[in-house]
Structure 1
Amino acid sequence: MLAVGLWGLDRGGMWRDEAVTFQVARRTVPQIWRLLHGVDAVHGLYYLVMHAVLAVRPGEVVLRLPSVCAAAAAAGLVAALGVRLARPRVGLWAGLLYAVTPLAGHYAQEGRSYALVAAGAAGATLLLVRALDGGTGRMWWAPGGGTGRTRWAPRVGVGRVRWAPGGGSGRMWWAYGGVVAATCLLHELAVLVLCAHAITLALLRAPGAVWRRWTRAAGAAVAVLLPLALQSRRQSRQVGWLPVPDWESAERLLRGFTAGPEGAVFWGCVTLMAVGLLAGRSTAVTAPVMLAPPAVLMLFSQVMPLYHERYVLYALAGAPLLIAAGADLVVRRLAVLTGRSSRSRTVTAAGVLAVALVFVQLLPLHRYYRTLAHRPDNLAAVSALAAGEVRPGDPVLFLPALGRRAALTYPDGFRGVRDLALKAPGARSGTLYGREVGPRELQRRLARVDRLWVFAQRYALRSRWFPVDPTERLKLVAVEERFTPRWERERSGVTLRLYVRRPAADAGGFPPSGGPPGPDGPPAPDG
């Protein structure tokens, strides 16, 4: 997983969400704290972590390194779960499957918190299993009855589960609660992992002592999370763009959770996953982890849309465990039919080879995920466009204000320009993109320029878009009324358009071809 994460890590550009991490994490701690009172409280702990990371050396690779390391840790934790719930080869296969899954590789290279959350949720699940074991040995399963060797393991008799008293050490339970709390502070929707763990206890028919210890640990984690949840609830407009999930969303998530989005690899993984549901007691841990958080979030999102695949990335851990358990069950059944041993190293090596072949099959998708085209935008390209066309001292407008993120992330391309609408920078104003002047002041500033560059998001130039903010409305209306467009170019979803003041008797228009005009003459040649 570490190798997959490091492969192609330097893409040569950040996209909008990474850019927010980059510019916020480089602020002072008081400035970050002030920002969180108005926006992005849900990412507050992550920004503080990244503040310490980027203090070492700010850059794109360093920005993504914590996610790479977290993804590697998550793969290791998935492997450890497989070993504890089943046997070493199941852990090996599951960890490798996690590593070659394109979705895991994608978020391993994102400068956001989701890979860290996935590692935290996997760690919490492993601690839950260890707490049920009493901290030693392995959880034991024998559908036909028998006796277990571990101290606190649930023992299965005929038709019911029998538990040894105590339900695990208190220290292990509090470690579990601490990891859950830290994970939820990295992203509050990680709290849904508690739903999965509650289902696990219900499926194992845990006794009252276990439920009480789990409730205390989970309750402490929720109590820690509550202030953040209340604050982020007041900032819910930030996720107002999320659609209501449908069956297509569920299918897309299933394809993302398998090691292949289509074809034989996908159907093979789905088949083994279905077989893995019959693999015994381990299903009580792995299936809820995979199914419960996405299902709960999708159902809740029918009322208040909050669903996105990245918010439940941590549920991915259950999929390779189910697939590996299914493959192991198939091997053991075949061994029974053929009268051969299923414990040979050849079987383990064959499973590793199968995962390697899956990775080779998925190489084109992995390569695509490492290109700039896979992300919605490339702010480095926007900055390069500005550097090639806009001159120091030229007046600039960003439509809307969030378009300023390219200038904040890659300031070299905007060095020396005059930001007409800016009143106070983001760090000083406690905002992401800065506080802008009011409409009257912007009118006065526009009256003093005859030539203006506008960096507009693609949707801002559509006739259906009409902003609520009065300053944004003035940008949209006054520029079109008082200026005429002379030249434009688009790069990575951003349109750079040059306007010149409209003569009283001239309707203006675009030149038929060519580059931006000089200050006093006709359009200059391209390049």
Structure 2
Amino acid sequence: MTIEDQQAGTIGKWSTGDIAWVLSILLIALTARLLHIESQPFWLDEALTYQRIHLGIDGLIADSFSNRHMPSYFLMLQLFSQFDSADAWLRIPSALFGAMSASMVFVIARRIGGRSAAIVAGLLMALSPLQVQYGQEARSYTLVTLLITVALWGLVRLAQNPVRASLGIRHPEFDWRGWVAYVFGTIGALDVLSDAAPWLIAANLSLFLIWRNLRLEQPHEQHAGFRRSWLLSVAIILVCCVPFYGAILAASDGQMLQKFDWVPPLSWRNLRVAAKSAYLMRIAAVVRFSVLPTAVPLLGLLVAVLGGIGLFRMRGRLEGRVLLLGFAALPLLLLAISLVKSMVLPRYILWSAAPFFILAGMGAAALPRRLVPVAATALLLLCAINLAPVYRIETKPRWDKAAATLAANVRPGDTVFTGDPNAPTMLAVLQPRDTSPIGNTALVTPRLDVALARWKQGGRVWAVNGRSALGQREELDAFKTRIAALGAPALEIPEGKEITILMFAAPKSGT
């Protein structure tokens, strides 16, 4: 069956083979996310998650809104943490949501383009390095992605059969599954993270296109019925979401964009980094705006070509326009905002990879059926080889090692001076659980004047150079120059690629 023959609806009923494949995709995705899930330490965002879920409910909600976050994910994680507070345990929900997102991508691609498209799209989503990386973080990005894929499935249903979508709610043929999936998936995503807000724009542009198609081809009662359901969906979504966004605006004191000053400035290089990591299967360095060397250089080009072919094959179809808007609306909107305040980050465009991988699956479906098993096997191997470095290289600063070193060596009267203002948070969260808090033994401060004064009074100083998140990093030589008043360090201890600890002995009497 050609893609042109599929205009009227879905491609056949599911078979045992389809069920086996979607379960395989789920298993592959879950394995990729659970494998070495504990090997990378928390970085700043995860450390803040850890601190937030250990607040009381009122404190958690207030802290979430003041930091432009919805409290829903953190309330869920707070409940989940009652089972075990280990760092890896807090990441398991993200692994589950990420794996389910891959299976939803399979389901959507299967509905549009058949099993071949679904296998390729599902494998790309399952083994995308960026999707796996955020599937191993105690943050809400994979939950938002899952909810948007649910909403996208509903929107695709509506686009495939607009006539059913336009029937009255009480009509037995009304497509309630499509509307319910779209509405509740959208509400869920918006009420978890504001990164989902562009989805509402993309989805309503898609609904407009469906309505316009009905208006051109169907009687008045058809497009009028669709318009009523569309307006009802908008009303329900706004009622369920606007109060929470109002709370975020109230807590931000009108300074929403100013609080994103840490985002790297807009540049062609940074745009390429975001695109390569989100869509073209490259591994991102979490605290450096860069991609790491790839094990399979041509994989990104292959995915880009498949995406282009898929977009070409879907031209003229409402489902194709839905996928294009789902993919393109988010990065284009962030690009437009970035002309005023830079907002382009790989994790901010994470969910738009789902419709892109579906388009890539549609491109792969152009292969002759007899080549599909070979192509799927080759893709699985290439993606696995490409993903392997995620598990063995340092993508997050080793604040856990720095905290362990300090906990084992500081003594009363010492001062720990941190070049990064967020480092005290990292050291407090990542210190070994079986040791006394570093702050109980030594003073931890990001203020050099305080550290210098205590050193002059006869105390040792441990100076820690390293970054906890994105932002301008002070290089080690510049850091040493800034603290030159402390003299020459007695010890210099590297902790991974990003962190160096310098120990300055107490000054001799009379200095």
With the length of structure 1 as denominator, give the TM-score of the two structures.
0.72
CA distance in 2, matches of 1:416, 1:219: 45
CA gap of 1:85–1:267, structure 2 versus 1, over 3 A, is: same
* Residue equivalent to 2:22: none
* 1:67 shift after superposition: 0.9
Q: Which amino acid aligns with 1:203?
A: L
* Residue equivalent to 1:267: 301
CA contact (8 A) 1:2 1:72 kept: yes
CA gap of 1:489–1:267, structure 2 versus 1, over 3 A, is: closer
CA distance in 2, matches of 1:196, 1:319: 14
Listed as ranges, the matches of 1:161-176 within 5 Å are 173=179, 176=182
Listed as ranges, the matches of 1:166-245 within 5 Å are 173=179, 176-204=182-210, 205=212, 207-208=223-224, 209-210=226-227, 211-230=230-249, 231-232=251-252, 234=255, 236-245=257-266
CA distance in 1, matches of 2:263, 2:373: 39
- The answer as to 2:136 corresponding to 1:109 is yes
CA contact (8 A) 2:418 2:464 kept: yes
Listed as ranges, the matches of 1:61-72 within 5 Å are 61-72=88-99
CA gap of 1:219–1:463, structure 2 versus 1, over 3 A, is: same
Secondary structure (helix, strand or coil) at the match of 2:69 reads: helix
Structure number with bigger Rg: 1
Q: 2:389 aligns with which of 368, 375, 392?
A: 368
Listed as ranges, the matches of 1:327-346 within 5 Å are 327-328=364-365, 330-331=366-367
* Residue equivalent to 2:46: 18
* 1:309 shift after superposition: 1.1
Q: Which amino acid aligns with 1:4?
A: A
CA distance in 2, matches of 1:32, 1:57: 19
Secondary structure (helix, strand or coil) at the match of 2:38 reads: coil
* Residue equivalent to 1:488: 492
Structure 1 unmatched ranges of 5 or more: 134-138, 141-149, 154-162, 335-345, 423-435, 466-475, 507-527
Listed as ranges, the matches of 1:74-473 within 5 Å are 74-130=101-157, 132=158, 139-140=160-161, 152=164, 173=179, 176-204=182-210, 205=212, 207-208=223-224, 209-210=226-227, 211-230=230-249, 231-232=251-252, 234=255, 236-258=257-279, 260-261=281-282, 263-280=297-314, 281=317, 282-328=319-365, 330-331=366-367, 347=370, 350-375=371-396, 377-391=397-411, 394-412=414-432, 415=436, 417=438, 418=440, 421=443, 448-457=457-466, 459=473
Q: Which amino acid aligns with 2:462?
A: W
Task: Report Cα offsets for 1:308-367 as digits up to 9, x if no partner.
Answer: 110110001112211111222x24xx6xxxxxxxxxxx64xx435423312322334312
Task: Report Cα offsets for 1:201-240 as digits up to 9, x if no partner.
Answer: 2433254533423432443355244224413554655421
CA contact (8 A) 1:102 1:256 kept: yes
CA distance in 2, matches of 1:320, 1:461: 38
Secondary structure (helix, strand or coil) at the match of 2:312 reads: coil
CA contact (8 A) 1:102 1:259 kept: no
CA distance in 2, matches of 1:4, 1:72: 9
**For this pair of structures, how many residues does the alignment match?**
441
CA distance in 2, matches of 1:387, 1:440: 23
CA contact (8 A) 2:32 2:132 kept: yes
Tell me whether 490-499 or 183-192 shows the greater mean CA deviation: 490-499
Aligned identity (percent) is 20
RMSD of the TM alignment (CA)? 3.6
CA distance in 2, matches of 1:372, 1:18: 19
* Residue equivalent to 1:519: none
Tell me whether 456-465 or 293-302 shows the greater mean CA deviation: 456-465
Q: Which amino acid aligns with 2:51?
A: Q
CA contact (8 A) 1:399 1:456 kept: yes
CA distance in 2, matches of 1:378, 1:52: 28
CA contact (8 A) 1:181 1:224 kept: no
Structure 2 unmatched ranges of 5 or more: 1-28, 214-222, 283-295, 468-472
Higher relative contact order (CA 8 A, sep 6+): 2
CA contact (8 A) 2:274 2:344 kept: no
CA contact (8 A) 1:396 1:420 kept: yes
- The answer as to 2:64 corresponding to 1:36 is yes
CA contact (8 A) 1:276 1:324 kept: yes
Q: 1:499 aligns with which of 495, 504, 510?
A: 504
